[in-house]
């Protein structure tokens, strides 16, 4: 009686183990990258939550949860700290590329979007 053995990989079981390890590493990397950019209930990613300071996180979350462009005057009214502090934080977020402020001539004010 003749038995034949088929290896998982042409280089034997060791090569098959390396192939499975590489596939597992690629899957884990993909999951890690997804989790890094996943937005949770407050609209922030894990990375943003870790790197931004509390006032920046609060304002960015407010803008993202609103969904549509929001008047800067509304943000100033709702957020603590007054106009100068909120405008400075929004300027920092805009410099980091996390929000965009565009002048709306119809509303006669800056509209903030994320």
| pLDDT tens by residue, 50-88 | 899 999 999 999 998 888 899 999 999 988 888 999 999
The CATH number covering residue 55 comes to 1.10.10.10
pLDDT at position 92, please? Answer: 95
Q: What phi and psi values does residue 94 have, to the nearest 5 degrees?
A: -70, -40
| pLDDT tens by residue, 2-27 | 555 555 556 677 777 787 889 999 99
Q: How many domains does the chain have?
A: 2
Same domain, 55 and 98: yes
pLDDT at position 9, please? Answer: 53
What's the CA gap between 92 and 41, in Å, rounded? 23
Residue 42 lies in a domain: no
**Rounded mean pLDDT, 21-35:** 84
What's the CA gap between 87 and 99, in Å, rounded? 12
Q: Which domain holds residue 9?
A: 1-37
What's the CA gap between 98 and 21, in Å, rounded? 37
């Amino acid at each position: 009686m003749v038995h034949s053995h088929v290896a998982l990989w042409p280089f034997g079981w060791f090569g098959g183990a390396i192939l499975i390890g590489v596939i597992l590493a690629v899957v884990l990397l993909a999951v890690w990258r997804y989790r890094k950019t996943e937005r949770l209930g407050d609209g922030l990613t894990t990375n943003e939550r870790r790197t931004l300071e509390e006032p920046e996180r609060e304002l960015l979350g407010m803008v993202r949860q609103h969904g549509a462009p929001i008047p800067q005057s509304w943000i100033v009214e709702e957020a603590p700290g007054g106009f100068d502090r909120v405008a400075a934080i929004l300027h920092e977020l805009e410099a980091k590329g996390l929000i965009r402020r565009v002048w709306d001539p119809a509303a006669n004010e800056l509209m903030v979007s994320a």
